[in-house]
């Protein structure tokens, strides 16, 4: 039995347990995957200043995100098809996040619906919106999220057209899945996953099934996305969303100082510095490379959140030290979920919390609020 000590252990376990088609969907970037790999590498390159003989008793990594108390500066990022990593994946991840005290964000492209998650959790979660060509549908999605009590809308701006991910095409990722023969054979090796899926029988996209035509039989996820998502989305569309949503609004997918300034002018509550985990514009700067400039430009006007490449508490510490108010994890929690279901997500949160707390202490800090660029070797 493997002793799980870090996120990489859970990733290895997930690779063994999750069908290749869905594991690959998570562990991939677009085109040459340079931005995907660079997200992690940029964080790795950042060195920390070790400080000693400072009283580091009584440490706290508690903070807030858009006014909400959180156990540490981490939220679960929206991840499409989470329910294919493990049956009921969105519900299980939301429950783990709720119990740990960090926000969970439900993707538009989820298997479990907004209502499924609301019925199985107690505290409000966040909903991520993709604006579709059919604006009426997007409006109804916002209404459903509102009715379900979602406290924040995370509007994703970096996916007007889909960055090609070669592995999804090679594996035959579609809905329903049309796996290639080798991928099908791989299913036979994943009895735990098959058993879980059989128990719940969830197979469809909960938020869009029955609401958007073609979703039950799409030739490929990529083709369907490109036919449904609105490529004409612009800043006036963001204003349109703002008009239809009277709670907190977070703009996700900002990777440029000029865009960050516009987002701040629009009056959102937070932005997420993100390149979609390297799944969209291959060749874009790593999120960590642009974080500092964006914080300097708008950090005094708007909460600057960060994602891309976080696999450890050290990574979270670096992002916060660079000026991020808070961070999100995508693949890290997905690997935990694929490996061990809800317990795996909890395990990831525990690992990150411990790594963050110890790193903070070894940098001579006791309160996450005091962490800053003085902790970095710049
Ligand atoms: C994503 N991401 C994403 N973002 C979003 O706004 N809506 C979505 O539906 C999805 N779907 C999705 C699926 C998968 C499998 C991954 C890995 C990512 C992007 C996600 O929210 C986040 O920006 C990245 O995952 C952050 O990078 P790391 O933490 O995965 O390195």
ipTM (interface predicted TM): 1.00
Query: How many C-beta atoms surround the C-beta of residue 28 within 10 A?
Result: 18
DSSP states of 310-344: --SHHHHHHHHHHT-SEEEESHHHHHHHHHHHHHH
Q: Which residues line ligand 1 (CB under 6 A)?
A: 25-26, 39, 77-80, 107, 109, 128, 156, 252, 274, 276-277, 279, 307-310, 329-332
Closest to 128 (Cα-Cα) out of 141, 111, 112, 118:
141
- Reported as a pLDDT band with limits 50, 70 and 90, residue 175 is low
- Reported as a pLDDT band with limits 50, 70 and 90, residue 218 is low
CA of 149 to the centre of ligand 1 (A): 23
Give the residue numbers of the binding site for FMN.
Answer: 78-80, 107, 128, 130, 156, 252, 274, 307-311, 330-331
Ligand 1, atom 2, lies closest to the CA of: 79
CA of 55 to the centre of ligand 1 (A): 38
Report d(CA 72, CA 326) in Å as an integer: 8
- Reported as a pLDDT band with limits 50, 70 and 90, residue 303 is very high
Report d(CA 320, CA 354) in Å as an integer: 16
Closest to 152 (Cα-Cα) out of 272, 260, 261:
272
Q: Which residues pair with 132 in a beta bridge?
A: 229
Report how far apart, in Å, the C-alpha atoms of 128 and of each of 160, 238, 299, 310 are.
14, 13, 23, 20
Q: Kindly report whether the peptide bond that precedes residue 176 is cis, defined as omega within 30 degrees of 0.
A: yes
Give the residue numbers of the binding site for glyoxylate.
Answer: 25, 165, 276, 279
Mean pLDDT of 306-323: 99
CA of 33 to the centre of ligand 1 (A): 14
pLDDT 10s digits, 124-150: 999 999 999 999 999 999 999 999 999
pLDDT given at position 214: 62
pLDDT given at position 22: 94
How much is the CA Rg of the chain, to the nearest whole Å? Answer: 20
Q: Find the helix or strand (DSSP H, E) in which 298 lies.
A: helix 287-298
CA of 24 to the centre of ligand 1 (A): 13
- Reported as a pLDDT band with limits 50, 70 and 90, residue 176 is low
Ligand 1, atom 17, lies closest to the CA of: 26
Sheet holding 152-156, edge to edge: 74-76, 326-329, 303-306, 270-273, 248-254, 152-156, 126-129, 105-106
Please confirm, yes or no, whether 276 is among the known catalytic residues.
yes
pLDDT given at position 210: 73
CA of 330 to the centre of ligand 1 (A): 5
pLDDT above 70 as % of the chain: 97
pLDDT given at position 34: 98
Mutate-to-test residue for ligand 1 from 75, 250, 330, highest number of ligand atoms within 8 A of CB: 330
Mutate-to-test residue for ligand 1 from 106, 276, 278, 311, highest number of ligand atoms within 8 A of CB: 276
Cβ contact 355:365 at 8 Å: no
Instruction: Choose between 187 and 6: higher pLDDT.
Output: 6
Task: Judge whether residue 216 has pLDDT over 70.
Answer: no
Tokens representing 92 are: 């299980």
**CATH number for region 7-375:** 3.20.20.70
Which of the residue ranges 209-213, 260-264, 364-368 would you say has the lowest mean pLDDT?
Answer: 209-213
Tokens representing 130 are: 């993709």
Q: Which residues pair with 76 in a beta bridge?
A: 104, 329
Which of the residue ranges 40-49, 58-67, 221-230, 328-337 would you say has the lowest mean pLDDT?
Answer: 221-230
Mean per-residue pLDDT over the chain, rounded: 94
pLDDT 10s digits, 341-355: 999 999 999 999 999
Report d(CA 273, CA 306) in Å as an integer: 5
Mean pLDDT of 294-319: 98
Instruction: Choose between 172 and 117: higher pLDDT.
Output: 117
Task: Judge whether residue 273 has pLDDT over 70.
Answer: yes
Tokens representing 22 are: 């869905």
Q: Find the helix or strand (DSSP H, E) in which 70 lies.
A: strand 68-70
Tokens representing 29 are: 């970037």
pLDDT given at position 245: 98
Task: Judge whether residue 277 has pLDDT over 70.
Answer: yes
Report d(CA 330, CA 336) in Å as an integer: 10
Q: Which residues pair with 48 in a beta bridge?
A: 376
- Reported as a pLDDT band with limits 50, 70 and 90, residue 184 is confident
Q: Pick the catalytic residue from 86, 276, 305, 353.
A: 276
pLDDT 10s digits, 78-115: 999 999 999 999 999 999 999 999 999 999 999 999 99
- Reported as a pLDDT band with limits 50, 70 and 90, residue 310 is very high
Give the orientation angle of helix 313-322 with respect to helix 34-45, to 10 degrees. 80
Torsional sign, CA 330, 333, 339, 342: negative
Report d(CA 25, CA 254) in Å as an integer: 23
Ligand 1, atom 15, lies closest to the CA of: 26
Mean pLDDT of 188-201: 88
243 Cβ partners below 8 Å, 6+ apart?
A: none
Helices (H), 148-282: 166-171, 181-187, 191-200, 221-228, 235-244, 257-266
pLDDT given at position 233: 97
pLDDT given at position 39: 98
Mutate-to-test residue for ligand 1 from 30, 273, 279, highest number of ligand atoms within 8 A of CB: 279
Mean pLDDT of 14-42: 97
């Amino acid at each position: 039995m493997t002793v799980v000590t870090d996120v990489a252990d859970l990733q290895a376990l997930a690779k063994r347990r999750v069908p290749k088609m869905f594991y690959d969907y998570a562990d991939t970037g677009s085109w040459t995957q340079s931005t995907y790999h660079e997200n992690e590498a940029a964080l790795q390159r950042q060195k920390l200043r070790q400080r000693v003989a400072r009283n580091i008793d009584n440490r706290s990594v508690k903070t807030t995100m858009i006014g909400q108390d959180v156990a540490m500066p981490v939220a679960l990022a929206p991840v499409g098809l989470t329910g294919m990593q493990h049956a009921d994946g969105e519900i299980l991840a939301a429950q783990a996040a709720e119990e740990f005290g960090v926000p969970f964000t439900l993707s538009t492209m989820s298997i479990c619906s907004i209502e499924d998650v609301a019925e199985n959790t107690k505290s409000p979660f966040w909903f991520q919106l993709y604006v579709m060509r059919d604006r009426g549908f997007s409006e109804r999605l916002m209404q459903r999220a509102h009715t379900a009590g979602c406290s924040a809308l995370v509007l994703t701006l970096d996916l007007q057209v889909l960055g090609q991910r070669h592995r999804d095409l090679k594996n035959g990722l579609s809905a329903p899945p049309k796996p290639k023969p080798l991928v099908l054979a791989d299913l036979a090796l994943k009895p735990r996953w098959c058993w879980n899926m059989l128990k719940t029988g969830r197979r469809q996209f909960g938020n869009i099934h029955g609401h958007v035509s073609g979703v039950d039989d799409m030739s490929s996820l990529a083709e369907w996305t490109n036919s449904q998502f609105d490529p004409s989305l612009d800043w006036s569309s963001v204003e349109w969303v703002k008009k239809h949503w009277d709670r907190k609004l977070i703009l996700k997918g900002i990777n440029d100082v000029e865009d960050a300034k516009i987002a701040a002018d629009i009056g959102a509550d937070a932005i997420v510095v993100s390149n979609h985990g390297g799944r969209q514009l291959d060749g874009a700067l790593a999120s960590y490379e642009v974080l500092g400039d964006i914080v300097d430009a708008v950090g005094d006007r708007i909460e600057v959140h960060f994602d891309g490449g976080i696999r450890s508490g050290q990574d979270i510490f670096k992002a916060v030290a660079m000026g991020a108010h808070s961070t999100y994890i995508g693949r890290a929690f997905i690997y935990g979920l694929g490996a061990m279901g809800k317990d795996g997500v909890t395990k990831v949160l525990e690992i990150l919390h411990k790594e963050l707390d110890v790193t903070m202490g070894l940098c001579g800090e006791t309160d996450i609020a005091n962490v800053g660029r003085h902790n970095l070797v710049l």
